[in-house]
A = this chain, B = another copy of it.
Amino acid sequence: MAAKRSGAESKQSRRTVASPRPGQEPRGEAPLSLERIVASAVELLDAEGLDGLKMRQLADRLGAGAMSLYWHVGNKEAVFDLALDAVLEYRRSPEIVAPQDWRGEIIHMLEDWRAGMLRHPWSASLLPRRALGPNILSRLELLGKTLSKAGVADADLNVAIWSLWNYVIGATITRANFELSDDDRAAAQQRLTDLSQHYPTIERSRLLLDNDWDGAFRKGLDFLLDGLAPRE
């Protein structure tokens, strides 16, 4: 397995935004730009999934010739990196700045992170495979700072951050890929019932049929936080 590269570099070192006719976009098609490419890529990924992003289709959607993208991005991997980072931006709602409630703040951050990824179900699967972009680093920085402020010892800080990372990543990837149709759900239930002699515990607990993903995420997160920094 090759070591991952960032891949986000483009042939141009800086984006010159000076438009030829300021304040007036040409009718019909705007010129190609990194911003437009990334926005379109996110739309396409939302609609078609990770395997559904094709360079030709992306160019088509932008009204550009099939191969024009390669002047801007260099690579399909670069498109993935840019789309992923675009989706991970954190807009901290300034009204909910909980003052001393570090636990509530952490829960808010992680629920926001998960919700953002679920709005783009391809993103969670992609995140661990790619180099960490600026937006995810910002989230980790804020998470670490909050944990530290909350009194987590420096010696435990990395473990605490990675534990929460693991939990959020695992939960979100699982949930994003578990979008069963009603037929699938019925079939799974039937199959599990057929096999209840082999798997009595998870059949009895209805593990695969429980549909309260948000509640389970929140409860498990509470358990983990209890272990990381017990409430007094």
Task: Please give the residue numbers on chain A whose beta carbons come within 8 Å of chain B beta carbons, in ascending order.
Answer: 1-4, 49, 121-122, 125, 128-129, 132, 134, 137-138, 140-141, 144-145, 148, 154, 156-163, 165-171, 173-174, 176-181, 184, 195, 198-202, 205-208, 210, 216, 219-220, 222-228, 230
Contacts and interface: CB of A to CB of B under 8 A. Distances in A.
A166 B163 CA distance: 10
A159 B220 contact: yes
Given A125-B129, A158-B210, A225-B227, 7 more contacts: A3-B181, A128-B173, A141-B200, A145-B201, A166-B168, A166-B170, A169-B170
A184 B3 contact: yes
A129 B51 CA distance: 13
A216 B158 contact: yes
Contacts of A145: 201
B224 A158 contact: no
A159 to B, nearest CB: 5
A159 B216 contact: yes
Contacts of A207: 140, 144, 157-158, 161-162
B1 A179 contact: yes
